[in-house]
Amino acid sequence: MSDFHFITYATHSEGSFEELTNNKYNIPIKVLGWGEKWNGFMDKFKNMYSYIETLPDEDVVFFIDGFDSVINQPLDIIKKRFYEFNSEIVLSLDPNLIGHLSINSFGICKNDLVANSGLYAGYNKDVKQLIKYILDKNYSRDDQRNLNEACKYFKNIVIDTEKKLFDNQTYYDRYLKYKSESCFVSTPGALTFNRLKRAPSEYLPFLWKELFSLIFVLIIIYLIYKNKKKLYVKLLNIFK
């Protein structure tokens, strides 16, 4: 029987970290990166890979976002639902918080779906292969974009579209306080000061085309409005 390992990455306590690490189900959480300098999203994959290299291949490893996630079911339910997937790796579905921009920011995993890097699980042997591929290819500085770029090359991956294991909640779900039955519930994209401060440098490289298009459209609208205003004034002068 495989041992299950629950792992997170956090340099400090923020968001739901205390609730996750001191969860009511007494599930031990291995914390990576504590007290270390934050160098960017890829630190999570680098630290995860270094740690799981020390674990047996047949064990099952879960990665849980340290600031957004809480455990919502006991260990026996978590194990049961993981095995029901009958897959080597299970990824969580991205909540698509910014519509089409999510695809431009993070790419597509498979079946037109965007995977979220904050919650995933799998047999250690397979998760190691996936993360090693990501680290070797190093598509970008963003862990989620790298995950979506890589996962299409792995046939042994499924995305939890029914949210049996993982539920990354939308802002609408949070507003309505939707009660999830998933094993892990996460609220990615929570607007904290630290995240807002990092956002320009971390996401602008993926959204510059959309921002340029938006600025261009706004300029055109402004010029049209300005010219219409001038024409209106001229007409008034003619008919005075």
Q: Do 51 and 32 belong to one domain? A: yes
Q: Do 131 and 48 belong to one domain? A: yes
Q: Do 176 and 210 belong to one domain? A: no
Q: Do 229 and 176 belong to one domain? A: no
Tell me the HSE value of 37 on the side-chain side, using a 13 A CA sphere.
1
Q: Do 144 and 222 belong to one domain? A: no
Q: Do 22 and 81 belong to one domain? A: yes
This prediction has a pTM of 0.80
Instruction: Give me the number of domains the chain comprises.
Output: 2
Q: Do 166 and 230 belong to one domain? A: no
Listed residues 149, 164, 190: the one ending a domain: 190
First to last CA, the chain: 92
- For the residues 203-208, what does the mean pLDDT come to? 54
pLDDT, averaged across the chain: 86
Percentage of residues in the chain with pLDDT exceeding 90?
A: 64
pLDDT tens for 90-100 read 999 999 876 55
Residue 2 pLDDT: 86
Q: Do 114 and 220 belong to one domain? A: no
Say if CB 113 and CB 93 are below 8 A apart.
yes
Q: Do 91 and 132 belong to one domain? A: yes
CATH at residue 56: 3.90.550.10
Which long-range contacts link 138-142 to residues 24+ away (Cβ below 8 Å)?
138/42, 140/205, 140/206, 141/40, 141/41, 141/42, 141/202, 141/205, 142/41, 142/42, 142/105, 142/106, 142/202, 142/203, 142/206
User: Can you give the residue range of the structural domain that contains 221?
Assistant: 195-240
Pairing assessment for the beta strands 69-71 and 184-186 based on DSSP bridges: antiparallel
Q: Do 43 and 131 belong to one domain? A: yes
Residue 195 pLDDT: 47
Q: Do 137 and 40 belong to one domain? A: yes
Q: Do 130 and 202 belong to one domain? A: no
Q: Tell which wins on pLDDT, 191 or 62.
A: 62
